[in-house]
Amino acid sequence: MKGYGNSHDNLREKIKSPVADIKNTGGRYGGAITAAMFLQEFVADGIKWAHLDIAGPAFTEKEYKYYSKGGTGFGVRTLIDYILNTK
């Protein structure tokens, strides 16, 4: 994966498959990185992209501060701010 260098070669091994070009899960550890490595395979060179791993905080079991029970919309405010303020 471009930008990840050799330090993550051990994680790249986790998405190799004996029966497919690549598999979409690399296990529990390094999951956000292996997910990004998987997605990178489908992004053309020169395209800017990001993988946001928001599965953990995506839902709450009960109300908490400004989150209601259920889907949190985690990261939406940050993305909107980024989009509106990036030139």
Identify any residues that bridge with 59 across adjacent strands, giving them in sequence order: 71
Among 49, 17, 51, 46, residue whose Cα is nearest residue 33: 51
Q: How confident is the model at residue 3 (pLDDT cuts 50, 70, 90)?
A: low
Domain ranges of the chain: 1-45, 54-87
**Confidence at residue 1, expressed as pLDDT on a 0 to 100 scale:** 47
Q: Is the pLDDT of residue 4 over 70?
A: no
pLDDT in tens, 39-53: 999 999 999 888 888
User: Which residues lie below 8 Å from residue 15, measured CB to CB, with a gap of 6+?
Assistant: 22, 23, 24, 25, 26, 34, 37, 38
Mean pLDDT across the chain, nearest whole number?
84
| Distance from C-alpha of 68 to C-alpha of 75, rounded to nearest angstrom | 15
Q: Is the pLDDT of residue 81 over 90?
A: yes
| Distance from C-alpha of 20 to C-alpha of 38, rounded to nearest angstrom | 13
User: Is the pTM here over 0.75, yes or no?
Assistant: no
